[in-house]
Structures are given as structure tokens and as C-alpha cells.
């Protein structure tokens, strides 16, 4: 049982790290020396220069979804530890699982909006590709859903 709890906590912390990195790092779109993320557009070369990102409504919704996913995932981890010590024997971690599933749905929504609308922001070209932070966001989605489902299925034992 202890090994199972350790595995669940490692999975949850992995999801949190993926969410934090994908939200913070400036690598959602890459075009040569130009990178763009949710917060700023940077140009590297002889001089590293960053400008604030656009104020498009869709970009603000992606920002909000990524922040909400982090908040839901942190709440889920906190609730898991609270329920671990207060839940009666045989009880399920429903609340923890629901918050983690919400985190997964928020990150999926944010990444999907960015996928569809990023051409409104930056012109698509042959050199433009998705950066590693964008890929990490999509990787966090199934992991968050999986850990949420595990929390819902999990029963507390002594």
C-alpha cells in the first residue's frame, strides 16, 4: 500500500512539474531565433530581447486555463494529503480525483485553444514549430486525467 501511495504522489508531482514548466517557459512556438510563449515573445541572437505577448482574448484564455490547471492540481495534492489522514477506512478520494481531472481538462482546453488560434498571433511559416513547453502541456493532460481516475478508484485502507 505504501508503494502505491508513493507511486501516486510521484505521478501527481510529475504532473505539477510539467504544468509549471509548460506555463512558465518561453518555448510554445519556435521560429529560428524567435520564441513565443503565453507571456512574452523573445528574440535571441547577439542581444536577447523580450516583449510582452499580445493581449488577444484567446491568448488570455489559454493563460487562464494553464493557471487554473496548476491551481486545481495543487489543490488536489493538498486535498489528497488532508483526506489521507481524515478519510474513514474504505472511503474514496472523490474530491481529490475531481480536482485532478479538472486540472487535466483545463490544460487540454488551453493547449487546444493555442493549437487552433496560434496562427492569428504569429504567421505560420516553414520554420515555425511547436516548442517543448507546448508538448509538455499536452503530455500533462493524459497524466493528469490518469492520476485523477486513479484517485477516484482508490480506496483508503489502513
Is residue 133 pLDDT above 70, yes or no?
yes
- Specify if 137 maps to a domain: yes
Mean pLDDT to the nearest integer, 93-114: 94
Specify the pTM: 0.88
- Whether 50 is covered by a domain: the verdict is no
Range of the structural domain that residue 131 is part of? 1-26+56-156
User: Residue 100's pLDDT is what?
Assistant: 95
Q: How confident is the model at residue 122 (pLDDT cuts 50, 70, 90)?
A: low
* CATH classification of the domain holding 136: 1.20.140.150
Q: How many domains does the chain have?
A: 1
Give me the mean pLDDT over the 49-76 stretch. Answer: 87
Q: At what angle do helices 94-121 and 132-153 cross, to 10 degrees?
A: 160
Amino acid at each position: 500500500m505504501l508503494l502505491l501511495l508513493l507511486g501516486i504522489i510521484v505521478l501527481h508531482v510529475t504532473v505539477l512539474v510539467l504544468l509549471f514548466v509548460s506555463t512558465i517557459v518561453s518555448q510554445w512556438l519556435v521560429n529560428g531565433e524567435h520564441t513565443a510563449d503565453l507571456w512574452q515573445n523573445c528574440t535571441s541572437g547577439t542581444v536577447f530581447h523580450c516583449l510582452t505577448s499580445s493581449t488577444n482574448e484567446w491568448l488570455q484564455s489559454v493563460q487562464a486555463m494553464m493557471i487554473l490547471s496548476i491551481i486545481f492540481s495543487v489543490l488536489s495534492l493538498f486535498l489528497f494529503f488532508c483526506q489521507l489522514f481524515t478519510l474513514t477506512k474504505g472511503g474514496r478520494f472523490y474530491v481529490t480525483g475531481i480536482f485532478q481531472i479538472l486540472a487535466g481538462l483545463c490544460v487540454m482546453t488551453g493547449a487546444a485553444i493555442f493549437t487552433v488560434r496560434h496562427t492569428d498571433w504569429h504567421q505560420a511559416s516553414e520554420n515555425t514549430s511547436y516548442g517543448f513547453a507546448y508538448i509538455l502541456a499536452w503530455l500533462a493532460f493524459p497524466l493528469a486525467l490518469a492520476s485523477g481516475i486513479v484517485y477516484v478508484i482508490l480506496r483508503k485502507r489502513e
